[in-house]
Each structure stands twice: as structure tokens, then as C-alpha cells.
Structure 1
């Protein structure tokens, strides 16, 4: 049964079902960074990246986004003051670096009023060990190479894109219409920019380009305001700690353990050891809160390992079909995905509240599907984003690789949720709380636990 929780201070228009609008505080903006964005002469011995915002910030989290060879090796992070953030880094000489302060998915840099910071790119290049930076050679591509890239892109979208029917878009016609412009482009970045003018119609965050140097170019960006108040969580809990950028732990009144998991990405095999340790320390608690509201996905296998702490026996949590143009109907038969008990980790026997919202997508949505099957778990919050693609790489031969979602992920009953999302069991309507007002989703979970005692 789907429930809806309302707090007395929430203004809800019951006739239309719409929330009354609230005048939001101005989102914070980056006013300076060191190194500066675009600097091509950065000393490789620089030990710290510093970021300064235009207003006081919440110190409950941060999002430095990137990956691959252009993402620096990072160390300890700290707030110098309430406007300036410092991140220890180790840079290589004569190297390009690209990262982002917040992104459309990861938005943990937030003001004290809870507003996410405006996304800010930070791109720079270090000098050689001896001094001035060397400019990377500019690679250009011929019309023949771009024509081949266009054909490879057409084949990927026609034969392999799992959501090709979602908006009834004739991809052949759209690619053909843009081909004269695409074939004239000498650089991969310009090619991607023009291709995005029609690929963005798919509204698919898993459909992306990647340059050969590792930089990702999204085809679709849609900034989302999360339904979370990180400042209240920090101020109203105790034993608050953030052992890693993607993990936050705390305790709430009644000795209820709280774990916020902002990502399931795991390039470091020990990236989730603190989480399993936290569960182990609280394994005898009556209940636990798992907060996914800033989680945009990562590795579904990592999500399975975590979910396995809450299962006593295997359970089917999802089904999927792969795009296969050679089969009748264009898809394989449905296949099941199963979550197994994680016998090598702590087994939590108490009640579980899983908190969700519109930022939650991809492998984080898979975790929600898993926990729907957990015998003592309840899902609270708002409907998830609705995006699960299992993208596969299709090199275009022009300095770009197009990543194309290859499957339709579905519930165990076979219901697709792309663009629709997964509804919580207990819906908690959301508008930005006041400074002294509790986070309503956490309050709903705590009230639920109290009733179970």
C-alpha cells in the first residue's frame, strides 16, 4: 500500500495535489578556485585545490565529480572556514585535469539554507617538471572519418539503444538531418556538441559521449533539487562523522543509527569498509536508516553486497531485457536479477528505513528494488528519477565513444520504470524546511520506528 505523510507545517493544496511554492534561497556559486579554471601553467607540486563560495556553506558534505586519467589523486578534505573548502591532491607534471564542483547528479556542496551550489567546472593543466606547460597536440579529423563516425552512431542508436521507442523518435531521420553539419566538424568536442542538439531529446542521463582523454560529455543534463536537509541532519544528530566523501554516519534520538550513502561507485576496494563496520557496530539496534537521497548510482554489485546484509534468503528484485535487433520484437526474453544474503558481512535483523527521492537513479534505484524485497524494510520519501541503462561503449573512431543504454530494467513483475521512477511505500511530501524544522523524511522514518516498538 502506498501511503502519504504530511506534517502540519507543510502547505499542501489538496484540490490539485500540488505543493504550495516556496521562495528558495539563492543557490551558492563558486567565486574563486586555486588553481583557477583554465590555468595552463599549474605547478605540479601544488598540494591543495581550494574552492571559495559566495555565501556560508553547510559542512555536511561535498561533491568533487570526475573520473578517469583526468581526475587527480585526492587525499584529505576539510573546510578552512564556512566559505572555503580545501582538498589535498597529488598532481602529475604535464597533465590535463578536469573535475566538477557538484554536478546534475551529485549535489552535496550546499548552502546553510540547503540549496545546492551551481555546477562549476574546473579544468587546468600542469607544467612539465622543468617549467612551462607543453600544449597538447590538436587532433583533427577528416570528413571521411566523421562520415564513418556518423554511420557508427546511427547503427548504435538504431540497433542497440534500449529506449529507442520511448519518445517515438525517428533516430535515422534526425541523424541524417544533422549529418551535413556533423561531417564538417574537425574536433570531437564540436561533433559531440552538435550531436547533442538531437540526442538530448532522449532525456537519458546514461546516453553520453566520452573523449579519448576520459572526459565525459553528457547528452542530457537536468539539475534536480534533492529532498534532503543536510544542515539539519548534521545539527540534529550526534556522533556525526564522514569517513569518506560518499559516506556519512550519525545517530538520532532513540539510538537510531543513520547511514547516508551518496554513491555506489567503488574504484577503491575498501571504499565501503566503513559502512560495513558501521552496520556491524550497530547490528543489535532495533532499526537503522539508510539514506540514498543524494545517490546517483555506481556499481550494482556494490549495492547487492550492501543489501545482502538485510536478507536471510535469496530474492528476485528486478528483471531486464537486452536490446537485440535480430530477435522478434527487438529484445531478449526477460532475465531475473537476484540479491543474495551476504554471509561474509554483518546480518542486520532490525527494521530498516530506506530514504529516496528524485536524485536516486541507476544502481541506487536497483538498491531500492532490492530493499523492496527485504522483509523488514520500508521505503520513504519521493519517487526516484527513473533511469537505468547498463550502457555499452561504441567507439566512433573520431576521438569519441558513445555510451548507449543496452537494457530495459524492470520490476520483478515486468514493469519498466525508465522516465517514471519507483514510488516509495510511504510518500513524504517535500518543500524546503525552515532552519529549525526537522527533515520531514527522517522524521517520518523515526515516527514509523516509534510505532513499531
Structure 2
């Protein structure tokens, strides 16, 4: 589905959540096409519903629903009474226990609703890139009923009310009187999107057959600090190598390697990492560029980070929403990274480049590696996105997700709002006009010493 503002809302006043970004129509999307933040919604652009190359598993599922197909990935369960869950002691590839690895059945307005909570799976399983959703026939519901579903689901599952300073009950008081029984779907969607926008969370999304709502200011209010055209024309100049999901460049004169990883949705194999670190084994350091990487699977983040340590190392802790209260969370669970047996690691300097469009799984990766002895983070703060999502299908067929998890870095920082770099550097306009990436040059200087 192409089109910008004029192709989406031609008869309606733009809602608040879209007025803020409409002036930016035509600007390049900072996310890399095809990437998926949180493994559910990719960076589809602030004013378009979907680009074919930005398809997500949720897009496919929604399209199949619209064509009357109910077969979904990961063995969709049809029987209402059947629950399928991983063992309570399931451990990921890094030996981390994820006791909440299961689908939860919640009661919303007296009806059994299936709610998938991406508990530890996003940090553990490649399968997180496919989403299990249960689409069951549901009677048409009034705008008031749908509003209450959205507000209640967020109230019981969202994890950052206190951090964001949001009084969700007060939000309901302001928005619910605006609901009218005669509202059409677009008017209702706009109202719900405005309400969800109050959470200022890129992982909070409402998707209908005609649109996707999302909070975009986590990067739009900040400098871009990344120019792929400059990178291609003034640095790569045709000398780059493509190794799995990485784009590599050898700064031979400086004895420094460069690796660009555009999306954590691009799966990394052990062989990919073996090649990366052996390719630059005789170099003095590596620049690892994850600017404008909008996220994807955190299993990739753990795989890379594991190559930077010699033994299992605790890098933080996480809590999972486990009750209806705003502060109902599991006990803290440690997060650790570990080196794979018999695989090459990287003990030399590694400079990680970030900007505000480094989001979700990228944010998690930075949390895992920042503070390691050989790692320096250079650029701008990451965009945040620290909550693994819980999502559900509403009674009218729309899909809703909210952050339902908290991740704290090794220093105790809640990473939801982003992570500051060790060395803050912004691209200089004069440098850019002369074909110079200020942030890359700062990284080169850092490794040169």
C-alpha cells in the first residue's frame, strides 16, 4: 500500500499522532526497509500503511484473515480450550531461563482473549520472527466497547506508566467522553491512536486493515546522524564486501575493519560471525555500525555480544509483567551473555556507532555490550524501546500491542528511553558536504589512539 497523507485520510482531519509527522512526508525513513522492531511491526513509515518490502508476519496474518484464511505460523491453535506452552524451565541458546515462555489467556469484558506475551522468546528464539495469533470470529462491537478493550488491555499489560509519568486513569477520563456510537472506523481509530500516543512508546501500536498507529518522535525530534548515500559514495565506492547480513569495508591504511549491520531482523549464523572476526583478525579494531537499525530479533544481539566475552558475564536483569496492577512484575531475572565453544571472539577495540534510530533489539544490543572493556559507543543516544511486547486481537479484528517487560542494563539503567553513548558525536553539515562522516572519523581516531 503506497501513498502518503493524501492517500490515507482524504476526508478526515489528521489526528494528533499524525499531524506531528505529516510535515516530514517525503523524508527518508530512518529504519532500514525490511527490518522489524520487536519482531512484530517494522519501520513502515509515519504516513503509509505498508510497503511491500516492509512486510511483517503480522501483515501476512492480517491479509490472510481478510481473505478468510485461518492457517497461521507456529502451529496456530484453533480450539478455545487448548493452551500450548513451552516448558516452565525452558532455556535459550545462552542458558538463560525464561519461565514465562507461554501464551496467556486473559479475560477482557467477559470473553476469553488470547494474548501472546513475547516473554524471553524475543531474546532467545529465532522463531520470534513469526508471530502466533489466534483469529477467532467475533461479533461487531460498539465504539465504546472497543475503546474499553484498548484502554483495559493497556492498563493491565503496559509496563512503563511510572517511568513515563502517565496517569492512565486520567487519560481515560479525557478520551472516553469523545467516543460516539455513530463514529466510523477511521474516526475511532484516530481517537484510539491519539490516546495510545500519550504513552510515547514506539512499541505501542494499533493496526487495522487501513492503517497503523505508532509514536514516531523517539527519532523524529533528533538529528539523523546517518547518511547512507554518503557512506556508499564516499566510503564504500564499490569496495565493500557482503558477508551474510554484514556489509564490510577494510580501512587498509588504518588497519581497521568496518561492519555495517542494517537490521537485527537479518538473521546471523555462527558462520557469519566467524567470518567477520577472522576477516579482520589482523586489524587493530572494528567499527560496528548499527545506526538507523530499527531492531528485529534480540537473539542476534545476544549472539554478537557473546563473541566479546571470554566467560559467561551478567549484563543486566529483566522483569516481566505478571498481573493486572501497574507494578505487578516477576522477580528480577539476570541477563547474561556467554561465548560459544570453539568459535572466534573479539578482544580488540570495538567501536559501536549509534543514533536515535537505533531502536528496540539494537537498543538491547547496546545495553549488552556497553561497558565491556574493549567496547566504546560513539554517536548519539539510542532511540530506546526496552519493553518486549504483549499483543492481542480486539473484538473488531484490529490488532493491539503494548510493552509488557522491563530491561535494566548492568548499571541499573532502564533502557526504555535510550542509552547514551560513551562519546557523543554528531555529523557535521560541513563535513557531510565534503563527503565526510563525522562519526566514522571519530571512531577511526579512537582506534588509532
Q: Which moved more, 1:146-155 or 1:346-355?
A: 146-155
Q: Note the residue ranges of structure 2 that are not aligned, 5 or more in a row.
A: 9-26, 54-65, 69-136
Q: State the distance in 2 between where 1:415 and 1:229 align.
A: 29
Equivalence for 1:197: 194
Q: State the distance in 2 between where 1:399 and 1:245 align.
A: 38
Shift of 1:182: 4.4
Bigger strand fraction: 1
Equivalence for 2:215: 220
Q: State the distance in 1 between where 2:314 and 2:185 align.
A: 42
Shift of 1:423: 1.4
Residues 372-387 of structure 1: pairs in structure 2 closer than 5 A = 372-387=370-385
The answer to whether the aligner puts 1:284 opposite 2:298 as a matched pair is no
Q: Deviations over 1:339-362 (max 9, x none)?
A: 111336432232111111211121
Count of residue pairs the alignment pairs up: 339
Shift of 1:137: 8.0
SS in 2 for 1:310: coil
Q: Deviations over 1:332-383 (max 9, x none)?
A: 3322211111336432232111111211121111111221243311111121
Bigger helix fraction: 2
Equivalence for 2:247: 248
Shift of 1:168: 3.3
Residues 15-414 of structure 1: pairs in structure 2 closer than 5 A = 63-65=32-34, 103=45, 122=51, 144=141, 146-179=143-176, 181-182=178-179, 184=181, 190-211=187-208, 217-222=212-217, 223=220, 225-234=223-232, 235-237=234-236, 240-241=239-240, 243=242, 247-252=246-251, 253-266=253-266, 274=272, 276-325=274-323, 329-343=327-341, 345-414=343-412
Contact residue 35 and residue 295 of structure 2 kept, 8 A = no
Q: Which moved more, 1:274-283 or 1:301-310?
A: 274-283
Cα pair distance change 1:122/1:180, threshold 3 Å: same
Q: State the distance in 2 between where 1:389 and 1:216 align.
A: 23
TM-score (norm 1): 0.64
Shift of 1:285: 2.2
Q: State the distance in 2 between where 1:203 and 1:380 align.
A: 25
Q: State the distance in 2 between where 1:217 and 1:120 align.
A: 6
> Structure with the greater relative contact order (CA < 8 A, sep ≥ 6): 1 or 2?
2
> Which has more radius of gyration?
1
Q: Which moved more, 1:319-328 or 1:191-200?
A: 319-328
Shift of 1:390: 0.3
What is the root-mean-square deviation in Å for CA atoms of aligned residues?
4.0
Q: State the distance in 1 between where 2:318 and 2:42 align.
A: 33
Q: Note the residue ranges of structure 1 that are not aligned, 5 or more in a row.
A: 1-29, 39-56, 72-97, 105-117, 125-135
Contact residue 302 and residue 365 of structure 2 kept, 8 A = yes
Q: State the distance in 1 between where 2:243 and 2:179 align.
A: 43
Shift of 1:422: 1.1
Shift of 1:181: 5.0
Q: Which moved more, 1:172-181 or 1:341-350?
A: 172-181
SS in 2 for 1:445: helix
Equivalence for 1:426: 423
Contact residue 299 and residue 363 of structure 1 kept, 8 A = yes
Cα pair distance change 1:414/1:31, threshold 3 Å: closer
TM-score (norm 2): 0.64
Cα pair distance change 1:273/1:184, threshold 3 Å: farther
